[in-house]
């Protein structure tokens, strides 16, 4: 199954404001969610984790040591919806990870 990866406006604005190299890295990592958005412990497929934010289950993807993306998965629509992309330090302050 292949998923469409959709970015919320806020996430798209964050990515668009990055320098060229960071934009490329973030987009490459988000594209990997097309094939496999779920965490697979010990698989070497990236730093994905299911977490609870404000009582709602979401997924978190660390991108390098610089950015963090938060997303939901809609299997029935074959979509990954990226809710937010933040600087990793801002994500830690905001969500306490």
In this prediction, residue 52 carries a pLDDT of: 87
State the CATH number of the domain containing residue 42.
3.30.2310.20
Question: Which structural domain, as residue segments, surrounds residue 58?
Answer: 4-95
Burial 16-55 (b: 16+ CB within 10 A, else e): eebeeeeeebbeebbeebeeebebeeeeeeeebeeeeeee
**In the structure encoding, which two tokens stand for residue 72, read together?**
């939901």
Contact 59, 52 (CB under 8 A): no
Contact 3, 71 (CB under 8 A): no
Domain count, the chain: 1
30 vs 45: which has the higher pLDDT: 30
- pTM recorded for the entire structure: 0.89
Contact 54, 66 (CB under 8 A): no
Q: Which residues pair with 53 in a beta bridge?
A: 56
21-30, 48-57, 86-95, range with greatest mean pLDDT: 21-30
């Amino acid at each position: 199954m292949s998923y469409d990866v959709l970015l919320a406006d806020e996430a798209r604005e964050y990515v668009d404001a990055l320098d060229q190299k960071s934009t490329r890295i973030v987009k490459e990592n988000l594209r990997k969610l097309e094939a496999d958005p779920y965490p697979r412990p010990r698989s070497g497929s990236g730093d994905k984790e299911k977490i609870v934010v404000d009582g709602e289950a979401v997924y978190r993807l660390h991108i390098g040591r610089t950015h963090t993306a938060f997303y939901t998965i809609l299997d029935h629509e074959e979509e990954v919806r990226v809710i937010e992309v933040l600087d990793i330090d801002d994500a830690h302050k905001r969500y306490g990870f």
